Amino acid sequence: MSSRVRIVNLAVFVLCWGLLAAPALSETRIEKNLALAPGGQLLVDIEAGSVSVTGGSGSGCHVVVTSSRDDLDEKLDFSFEESAGEVRIVARRKGKSWFGSWSFRGKLRVEIEVPERTEIDLDTSGGSLEVDSIEGDVRLDTSGGGIRVTRVRGEVLADTSGGGIHIENVDGEVRADTSGGGITMHDVTGDLVADTSGGSIKIRGAGGRVEADTSGGPIDVEFAPGNSEGGSLSTSGGGITVTLDAGANLEIDASTSGGSVRSDLPITVRGEMDKRSIRGTLGGGGATLKIRASGGGIRIQER
């Protein structure tokens, strides 16, 4: 046997022995049951990890924390506090390097079940946020992940610097802001605001006034039947498509520097016709719908 073959066999043997001798990676799990009656408030403030909250028909707050690390207690200090009408969950880092920086290398997830009637306030510096089936106001803030909200009766405030936002079936007002992804909303009954510098905006079934602004993609907004609340739509990174009820009563002010403006609906135009702009009245007039695009065309179409 050549020396080269012997060296290769020895390397394989050492690698296999190392894998067999190394301890298996373990997972940390923390489980808590806290007192929380319907109508209370949940506050979560963690410096790493993702958080998901689901509302249910019972009472109490059930928390499950899982981590891919087996030394979670050496990295983060968790506190679980319960008081009259409130549960507070906080995770703070332990220690820092000589340069003052700190990072959590590993997967951390906090899953929480609360009564359906609960106000939610979630804040994380390093993961995604999810909320489902809640009757109460919801505030979400993350610096490092996406946001998903479904089936909420209340006001929703969602802010992220590092991901997309998806919001669906909300009976209330919504404000969504991201610097790092697109925004999609389906079936929001109240006024909504969508602002992104890094993606497209797509809205379906908007029940109130719509304010949408992006510098990084197109805008596509469908207003709910009978919606005449108007709004403001603006993009410098694509075109805009607006779908309106034929019976809507609006003042239309649409212009683009990156294409043409077309309307499938009968708009009574004020002033001279211009392929890059339309200003006029839809139906009996009313609130103003302002549409501005600099990176594409504008189309106004019927539901």
Q: What is the 3-state secondary structure (H, E, C) of the chain?
A: CCHHHHHHHHHHHHHHHHHHHCCCCCCEEEEEEECCCCCEEEEEEECCCEEEEEEECCCCEEEEEEECCCCHHHHEEEEEEEECCEEEEEEEECCCCCCCCCCCCCCEEEEEEEECCEEEEEEECCCCEEEEEEECCEEEEECCCCEEEEEEECCEEEEECCCCEEEEEEECCEEEEECCCCEEEEEECCCEEEEECCCCEEEEEECCCEEEEECCCCEEEEECCCCCCCEEEEECCCCEEEEECCCCCEEEEEEECCCCEEECCCEEECCCCECCEEEEEECCCCEEEEEEECCCCEEEEEC
Task: Determine the pLDDT at residue 251.
Answer: 96
Task: Determine the pLDDT at residue 9.
Answer: 53
Task: Determine the pLDDT at residue 4.
Answer: 46
User: Does any domain span residue 257?
Assistant: no
- pLDDT over 60 (residue 203): yes
Task: Determine the pLDDT at residue 101.
Answer: 47
- pLDDT over 90 (residue 303): no
Task: Determine the pLDDT at residue 48.
Answer: 85
User: Does any domain span residue 245?
Assistant: no
Q: How many domains does the chain fold into?
A: 1
Residues 6+ apart with CB under 8 A from 87: 34, 35, 36, 40, 41, 42, 43, 61, 80, 81, 114
Total residue count of the chain as it appears in this document: 303
* Residue 254: pLDDT band with limits 50, 70, 90: very high
User: Does any domain span residue 111?
Assistant: yes
User: Does any domain span residue 219?
Assistant: no
Task: Determine the pLDDT at residue 126.
Answer: 80
Read off the pLDDT of each residue in 105-120 and give the average, rounded to a whole number: 91
Higher pLDDT, 75 or 273: 75
Task: Determine the pLDDT at residue 124.
Answer: 92
Domain containing residue 85: 25-141
Task: Determine the pLDDT at residue 105.
Answer: 59
pLDDT in tens, 162-178: 899 999 999 999 999 99
Q: What angle do CA 160, 163, 164 make, to 5 degrees?
A: 100
User: Does any domain span residue 115?
Assistant: yes
Read off the pLDDT of each residue in 58-72 and give the average, rounded to a whole number: 89
User: Does any domain span residue 136?
Assistant: yes
User: Does any domain span residue 117?
Assistant: yes
Total-model pTM: 0.86
Mean per-residue pLDDT of the chain: 88
